[in-house]
Amino acid sequence: MSGSLVIAGLGPGAETLITPEVTQALAQATDVVGYIPYVARVAERPGLTLHPSDNRVELERSRHALEMAAEGRQVVVVSSGDPGVFAMASAVFEAVEAGPPEWRNLDIRVMPGITAMLAAAARAGAPLGHDFCAINLSDNLKPWDLIKKRLRLAAEADFAMAFYNPRSKSRPEGFARTLAVLNDACRDARPVIFARAVSTPEESIRIVPLPEATPDMADMRSVVIVGSSTTRIIHRDGAPFVYTPRSVPA
Amino acid sequence: MSGSLVIAGLGPGAETLITPEVTQALAQATDVVGYIPYVARVAERPGLTLHPSDNRVELERSRHALEMAAEGRQVVVVSSGDPGVFAMASAVFEAVEAGPPEWRNLDIRVMPGITAMLAAAARAGAPLGHDFCAINLSDNLKPWDLIKKRLRLAAEADFAMAFYNPRSKSRPEGFARTLAVLNDACRDARPVIFARAVSTPEESIRIVPLPEATPDMADMRSVVIVGSSTTRIIHRDGAPFVYTPRSVPA
């Protein structure tokens, strides 16, 4: 039997946010590969081998998955959220491009998932209802100067912004610098949504005006959404709704 | 029984891309409201009333849904893709904000879905694997000058870009102008992905270098993804993979 490699998105956490397509791929897999906490979300069963691996070994993990697919196994690489958004799909294609030519003609498919920013946006209302951008704030992967440039241009374009990987123990200062750039560029009190562990039992949503946002409000399980200049808050009993109107008048 | 309003994303087309959360909400609904082709995706059953409506009546449709929820019905507003991305969620919140105060305290929930750009990206590889933006090209909703400004700033930021509503019969010239701005701003042959009706029987994916992209390659069922300057193509037997690497070297 020919091998295959599926790169699948498990969504933000809840079982009810995993697409049937991904559930079916997992049911047919012989091997599941991924970062430890994501592989832990896949149920064990006879005939399935789980291959959890540590963070920051994305290329090794990709090569391992490709080798097993080339040997004829049905391999699923799991990501949280959507595999194409700051997750495993790009890592696998980096490994394909740098690897042996025969890897290019493997049966490789990407299966989308509910990415963190869309799950977070849904919880808050519709903050991404108009033009927006998504930026990975990890400066493991690019220089801080490029992040800063993108933040300034995104503010000038008046995009709403979604930030992945806002903060880690190894980079405690990066998110503080991000907030400083945004306050300087935006100079208003647009809402900032700190969404942590959306759709899991540890979920929390916190909404603050930009000048009151502080770095400790985010961690590596958070996605942060910053409104555009037109984003609005609807106050009500309980948590407010935050939404960005669809139109900008001429 | 208290009424409720769910704003649900049906994903790009395939049944296997609808989340179980949304399937369950539809099973409990008394009323489903939405644009005609999206309501047509919901199976009829006893106890369920379908309320299809035409395009461009999003606010009326939202008010109708809110009125029914206020009367105690279990209402689901359906969108294609994700309801929070250029779809019905913002329209509903616009109606809530402008409507009677009691609408604010209704049980309103947004349920995310697989949005078109992520389904399209998955088919092509991982073109949105690094920082990116999403722009609605419809100039029904904002002035062309703002679209042009955003395109130029997005190119300067070196975002990959996803375009919704690239072209309609009523605005045949808008997408031609978009391509002209991009060619002028980018001056390279980065890949452009035209993804039409992804996950439906009419799906087509076409990948061309930016200078060869023409307006007729898109229609209102298309989402268009333009790579960043670092986006790569992996040639192989059959359709190539397009991906954007995760990192940018210092």
Instruction: Kindly state whether B168 is in contact with chain A, defined as any CB-CB distance less than 8 angstroms.
Output: no
What's the whole-number mean pLDDT along residues A86-115? 98
For residues A130 and A230, the answer to whether their CB atoms sit within 8 Å is yes
User: What is d(CA A152, CA A186) in angstroms, rounded to the nearest whole number?
Assistant: 9
Residues in chain A with CB shorter than 8 Å from the CB of B250 are 142-143
pLDDT score of A216 more than 70? yes
For residues A20 and B20, the answer to whether their CB atoms sit within 8 Å is yes
With a CB cutoff of 8 Å and minimum separation 6, the contacts of B167 are B137, B174, B175, B215, B218, B219, B220, B222
Half-sphere exposure (Cβ direction) of B65: Cα atoms closer than 13 Å:
37
Question: A111: helix, coil or strand?
Answer: strand
What's the whole-number mean pLDDT along residues A194-212? 98
Domains and CATH numbers, chain A: 4-114 (3.40.1010.10), 117-243 (3.30.950.10)
Nearest CB neighbour to A133, from listed B111, B125, B133:
B133
Write out pLDDT tens, residues A171-187. 778 899 999 999 999 99
User: What is d(CA B224, CA B161) in angstroms, rounded to the nearest whole number?
Assistant: 8
Residues in chain B with CB shorter than 8 Å from the CB of A85 are 118, 128-129
CB contacts under 8 A, B 134-153 vs A, are: 134-136, 140-143, 146, 149-150, 153
pLDDT score of B112 more than 70? yes
Nearest CB neighbour to B126, from listed A14, A90, A142:
A90
Write out pLDDT tens, residues B132-166. 999 999 878 899 999 999 999 999 999 999 999 99
User: What is d(CA B162, CA B177) in angstroms, rounded to the nearest whole number?
Assistant: 16
Query: Between A and B, how many residue pairs show a Cβ–Cβ distance under 8 A?
Result: 239
With a CB cutoff of 8 Å and minimum separation 6, the contacts of A162 are A117, A120, A121, A128, A132, A133, A134, A135, A223, A224, A225, A226
Q: Do B96 and A234 touch (CB under 8 A)?
A: yes
Phi and psi at A8, nearest 5°, equal: -115, 140
DSSP chain B: ---EEEEEE-BSS-GGGS-HHHHHHHHH-SEEEEEHHHHTTSPP-TT-EEEEE-TT-HHHHHHHHHHHHHTT-EEEEEESB-TTSSSHHHHHHHHHHHS-GGGGGSEEEEE----HHHHHHHHHEETTSSSEEEEE--TTSS-HHHHHHHHHHHHHTT-EEEEES--BTTBTTHHHHHHHHHHHHH-S--EEEEEESTTSTT-EEEEEEGGG--GGG--TTEEEEE--TT-EEE--SSSPEEE--S----
Q: How confident is the model at residue B172 (pLDDT cuts 50, 70, 90)?
A: confident
Write out pLDDT tens, residues B220-245. 899 999 999 999 999 999 899 999 99
With a CB cutoff of 8 Å and minimum separation 6, the contacts of A216 are none
What's the whole-number mean pLDDT along residues A227-238? 96
What's the whole-number mean pLDDT along residues A63-81? 98
Residue B108: its pLDDT value, please? 98
In 3D space, the residue among B214, B217, B189, B215 whose CA is nearest the CA of residue B205 turns out to be: B217
Residue written as token pair 């998504």: A134
- Tell me the C-alpha to C-alpha distance, in Å, between residue A143 and each of A137, A189, A219, B95: 10, 28, 20, 43
pLDDT score of B74 more than 90? yes
Instruction: Kindly state whether B41 is in contact with chain A, defined as any CB-CB distance less than 8 angstroms.
Output: no
Name the residue of chain A whose CA is nearest to B245's CA.
A90
ipTM value greater than 0.95: yes
Distance from CA of A7 to the nearest CA of B (A): 9
Q: Do B128 and A85 touch (CB under 8 A)?
A: yes
Q: How confident is the model at residue A21 (pLDDT cuts 50, 70, 90)?
A: very high
